[in-house]
Structure 1
Amino acid sequence: MLILGLILLLLGFLLGVQILWILGIILLVVGAVLFLLGSTGRPVGGRRHWF
């Protein structure tokens, strides 16, 4: 999710498409939260690991 957010963020910036920029930021934030919760060993959504 982090990589997809970064790709959308870059595409939105380079192409000048505002919705891609916004979606990229949202995916980066959600991916970072899931990564931090998963790295602390806390189960997220009933799962301990996200593959």
Structure 2
Amino acid sequence: MPHLGFASELKTYSFSLIYGGQIDTKQWQGKPYLVVNTASQCAFTKQYAN
């Protein structure tokens, strides 16, 4: 069973953006947020093509 906690209990992470750069979850510290992996590099996501 997943641990349900408060946003202030979460660690901060840095994620690579699809077109370069990074995003850090520190900017949302203390607020709820949802991270979604959209499988942007797979063959079935042509909507992400440049």
Q: Given the two structures, how large is their TM-score scaled by the length of structure 1?
A: 0.31
Which structure is higher in strand share?
Answer: 2
Structure of larger gyration radius: 2
Q: Given the two structures, how large is their TM-score scaled by the length of structure 2?
A: 0.31
Which structure is higher in helix share?
Answer: 1
